[in-house]
Amino acid sequence: MANASSSSTLPASSHSHQDSLDDRQQYNAGDISSQTIQNRLRHWRLGSPEARLQSSADVKGRLGLNLLHEPSDPRFDFVFIHGLLGGSRKTWSHSPEPGMFWPKDWLPNETGFEHVRLHSYGYNSDWTAKKESHLCIHDFGQALLADLHNSPHLRRTPETPIVLIAHSMGGLVAKKAYILSHEDPLYQTISRRIQCIYFLGTPHRGAALARLVKLLCQKGVYRSKAFVGELVPGSASLGHINDEFRILCGNIDLWSFFEGVETSAGPMSMLVVDKKSAVLGLPGEHVQYIEADHRHICKFDSQTNPNYLTLQRCFLTTIEKLKIKDTAHRQDIYRSQMTSISSFLQIERAEDTILVALKQKHHPGSCEWLTVNDTFREWLGTQQSTDPHSQAREELRANTLWLSGRPGTGKSVAAAHVISLMDHHDLDYSFHFFRHNDRDGSKVYSMLRSIALQMAKHSPDVRKALSSMIEDGVTLNYDDHHALWNRVFVDCILKLERRRPHFWIVDAVDECPAKEVTELASILSKLNPEVSVRIFLTARPGGQLGKSLVQGHVRFSEIKIGLDQTLKDIELYLTARCPAGIDPRFYPDLVPEILSNSHGIFLWASLVMSKLEDAYTVEDTRDILRNMPTEMDDFYTRIVTSVAASPNSEFAKCVLRWTICSPKPMTIGELAHAIKLDIGRTLTATASQLEAIVGHLIYIDDQSRTHIIHETAASFLTQKRAGFWIDRNIAHATLAEICLGVLCGSEFAPPRSYRGVPPKQATADSILSEYASTYFSYHLLHGSHVAEQPCRLLDRFLRSNVLTWMEKIAHTGDLLPIQRALDRMEAYFNQKADYQPQSCEELQSTAQIVVDIGRLVYAFDSCLLASPSSVHFLIPHLCPCSSIMRQLFGKETRRLRIATSLKEYDWTDRSTCHFFATKAVSVACSERFLAVGLCEGYIKVYKRRTLGAFDYVGMLDHWLNPPQLLLAFDCSSAILASCCSHKLNVWTLQNLQDSSFSYMWSHYLDLEPSDMRFSKDGSLLIIASTKTCSLVTFDAKSGLRRDARDLHDPCESYSSHSGADNLQGTLTGARIRLDKLCREYFKRVPMSEPTADFDDRNAVYAMKYHALLSIMYLKDRRYRDTLISELRAVVTRVDTDEVSRL
């Protein structure tokens, strides 16, 4: 150890500019005089360009072991050792200029050297120094060994293999150090770590030129140096080193390079170290020459120098071999350390299983919106700033990034994408997924322990630090996150020096209890900005996390997931996962259909797609698309449980009740007024706070309108269960009561006198009036039939403020809302009579008011639109004397008297009248148009102007000679079909402005049609024949004949029909039990009785009255739900149980 210390402190020679023996020409001295030799050596020195440079420590290099480069994860150590009269920098540099020191300037940037730590070693080998030296190769080797042992860098990674690269006499020093490491137990670690030695022109058997140098020293030209004498061929020292090394070097790789070019010295040129001396001749030794002289065997003028490339490729070979050799050893150590650390942190859960499941939902192209986001790139550190104040911005950069999004919108998938991005860019990261169903997994202390374990996984320094804690017997309180944070992170991990950031990805923070979220924010607030840790959080918007981050003064940025981004990711997922077994003939638009129905809920789309993978029939596929996945129940249950436990549960339930039951998205203003009227509480929450209060089961769009996040959420919330749920019938009754309360209020009170001015605009206190006017009847119809208060309020409204309601609607220029309300109220009275027959007489008078209002609107629609206020003081007086509207609102006053008596005592059944020159044989009506077929074959088309008035549009006569016996409009009123006894003609709306129709296509028929209908979606046209008991279908747009069916055939014969499923639930047959249904139906429809009795075998005549009554086989239950839902809307009095038995 003493020798090692002294060798590292030897002063540099003042003649260090002279070339070493290794830079001298090798030749036979013979009897040449010492003066001659000295003169030639001087000539050589003066001829060298380097000799003219002034000596400096910077040029030659420092003594001892010098660190040149250290990567973030060092796995190999390369040590460069110079030769005689060399230097730790000079020997490895072609010139003193910057960038020429290739071990430091070139190797770190080479591919394959990412994990190589580089050192150079310097010792005083200046044989031209004026002072005498007794140091020998043994001393130099011992000093090298001691420096390797004491290096703090090497001690920090005690398992990295060491490669020694030595030039000339440096190879002898390397061999001696290796020998000494085996002899002294203190250095056993170093002896095990030395795995390879490179010899560049090393005189293993001595150099003849050494005799000349020794002779000069003896003559007094230079001072005596012990190490010079050891280089003389045949010296005892060389023999001992070679003999001992030969015995010990069996486990290391040896690379020997000899010079291939003679060294020039004035007019002379010779090999300094010949091949015989430069090669050991040991088994397994790699031998190769380098096309350079002794001086330039280790100096290169550029990175493209062939000699440099040769050496660099050899280094890569060594690195690859060491990787293979070292992998097993490192893995054993790694496994041992990680097992110990895992036990120390008491971690048994595997996060990887969750991550694998999430990555399966990630497909190429998804989450690109996050990758290119400037805020994300700035947090990641890849955003290149052009701001001149970028340094100041860097200091202010938020280390915490919060990705917020509604429930089920793919936040966890985005977190998995960030993890994949970290893997791709080889970044250090740790992740944790909070999960509600894991008691420990939803705690902050669990997250800290998981992250500590993963940081140890990525960093040898962290592994070593935690291992030291274990060796020191440190104990932890595992359930106390404060103690864990301070002991494991503050006092240990975060104190370690890091050269690049470490990222924490923490998903689903809102799965934690509110107290845990607050504690997490508290921990983040204590993170020193100088600590290179960056945090990525995912959670729902607002809520406890947002509040805690703000209160904790945590500097953070937020990225909100938009609907467009989510839909794009869902589409990529669906496209990639679409089952191959799905026949495109049956589902040509499967992906768009799922995407549209997802409403941005990634969870629902992924659950549906996973179930479709096990669907092998059309019926199973349809059921999956129609029903809610059971896994969604668990998802919603967690949210509802949290909402129910909050102090705002009553308020949240009120918000959800209005959002679910409202037929249109309510604005926040409407919702606030509705809540005030409903539960008496004033809304002050912002949009984000409102979403958080209800667990993000609703969202508010850019127009401040509220929406339920998905139809499955509404379905779940309205399922009867213990605790928090919404009874639709009771909720609608409550909402109807509130709306009718608004309509019965002072705002709708009739004016006391006619002023000829429109009513006052709604004030801030009556924001709900427009909603109440439009949708009170909707809630009334869907409300509970046993609720009495809505019925009482309705009667009060109809006898008091109904005229003001009609006036307000008339001011909009459209009377259709009145007609819809009247239809709903009539249906409400019918339902009320079915469920409460005892109250029929009481409802009769109220229902008669509704009928009278309808007749009034039909009779005076033009007057209403021309002068809405006339409904108060004029129109009621013009109603028939016996009408309820006349009796309630048409009483004569001194200011208004009817001069002549009205002829009509009561209302007539006629609402409007059109006269034709010839007989009308067919008629069809839609929401916008009326078509009448005349006996000459012409079709006259009228456009609906008001409820009872039509404007003539034009006449269709495209080669129509026979009377068009059947007419039908599609659901959009854009296609009109006409049919005579043998030909079908189809017309399309050509111009929406002038409502003109143009001819599309025609088709000759081979059956006598009795009825014609469009399918519900308007894609098919269906024609039925009562004579042949058959159905024929056509594509509505192309006219292609799709299907023909004999309705008498057994239903099983169509189960495999090639076109059977093309109807997609519209029409599949008519063999169902419809006797009771049809009788009830005909009670509701003012048409003639059917021409045939309905029995169990044949219901084809129902086509004459309603297409829906013939859409299902008796035994084929595939379209059961579609039929029942439609029949319930048509046949309002039928027993629900009877319909369910179909």
511 exposure class (CB count in 10 Å sphere: 0-12, 13-18, 19+): buried
Inter-residue contact 376 to 400 (CB < 8 Å): no
In 3D space, the residue among 535, 457, 464 whose CA is nearest the CA of residue 502 turns out to be 535
Amino acid 360: pLDDT: 66
> What does residue 343 show for φ and ψ, rounded to 5 degrees?
-65, -40
DSSP for 980-1015 reads -SSEEEEEEEEETTTTEEEEEEEEE-SS--SEEEE-
Tokens of 192: 């095990």
pTM: 0.56
Q: Look up residue 151 and give its two tokens.
A: 């290096």
pLDDT for 1104 equals 33
Count of C-beta atoms within a 10 Å radius of residue 55: 18
Long-range contacts of 1127-1135 (CB under 8 A, 24+ apart): 1127/1077, 1130/1081, 1130/1084, 1130/1106, 1131/1077, 1131/1080, 1131/1081, 1131/1084, 1132/827, 1132/830, 1132/831, 1132/834, 1132/1084, 1133/830, 1133/834, 1133/1080, 1133/1083, 1133/1084, 1134/1076, 1134/1077, 1134/1080, 1134/1081
Cα–Cα distance for residue pair 883/310, rounded to 1 Å:
111
398's tokens? 């938020």
How buried is 67 (Cβ within 10 angstroms: 0-12 exposed, 13-18 middle, 19+ buried)? middle
The Cα–Cα gap between 36 and 293 comes to 24
263 in the Ramachandran plot: left (φ > 0), alpha (ψ -120 to 50) or beta?
Answer: beta
Report pLDDT for 942: 86
CB 164 within 8 A of CB 194: yes
Residue with tokens 């030909």: 983
**Do residues 173 and 144 touch, judged by C-beta distance below 8 A?**
yes
CB 986 within 8 A of CB 979: no
Q: Quote the CA–CA distance of 1129 and 1134 in Å, as a whole number.
A: 10
Report the sign of the C-alpha dihedral through residues 227, 229, 234, 237, in that order. Answer: negative
CB 465 within 8 Å of CB 492 = yes
Chunked in runs of 10, what are the mean pLDDT values of the chain (1142 residues)? Answer: 35 35 38 47 44 56 95 93 92 92 96 96 81 86 96 91 96 96 93 96 80 50 68 86 93 94 78 90 94 93 95 96 80 86 80 64 77 90 56 62 86 88 88 76 85 89 90 84 89 85 90 86 84 89 85 90 82 74 63 78 78 72 72 80 88 93 92 92 87 86 87 85 88 94 91 57 63 94 89 93 93 88 90 72 83 86 87 86 86 61 64 68 86 87 73 77 87 89 86 74 88 85 80 88 63 36 34 40 40 34 38 39 50 42 42
Select from 268, 131, 282 the least CA-distant residue to 202.
Answer: 282
Phi first, then psi: give them for residue 462, nearest 5 degrees: -65, -40
The per-residue pLDDT for 897 is 60
Q: Token match 């549209």: residue?
A: 596
Residue 1013, sorted as left (phi over 0), alpha (psi -120 to 50) or beta, turns out to be beta
Q: Which structure tokens are listed for 976?
A: 């009109």
Is-contact 1028 1008, C-beta < 8 A? Answer: yes
Is 1023 in a helix, a strand, or coil?
Answer: strand
Per-residue pLDDT at 672: 93
How much is the pLDDT for 1063?
35
Kindly give, in sequence order, each residue whose CB lies less than 8 Å from that of residue 71, ignoring residues fewer than 6 positions away. Answer: 108, 114, 115, 116, 117
Q: How far is CA 606 from CA 369, 569, 781, in A?
A: 20, 11, 36
Q: What angle do CA 426, 431, 437 make, to 5 degrees?
A: 155
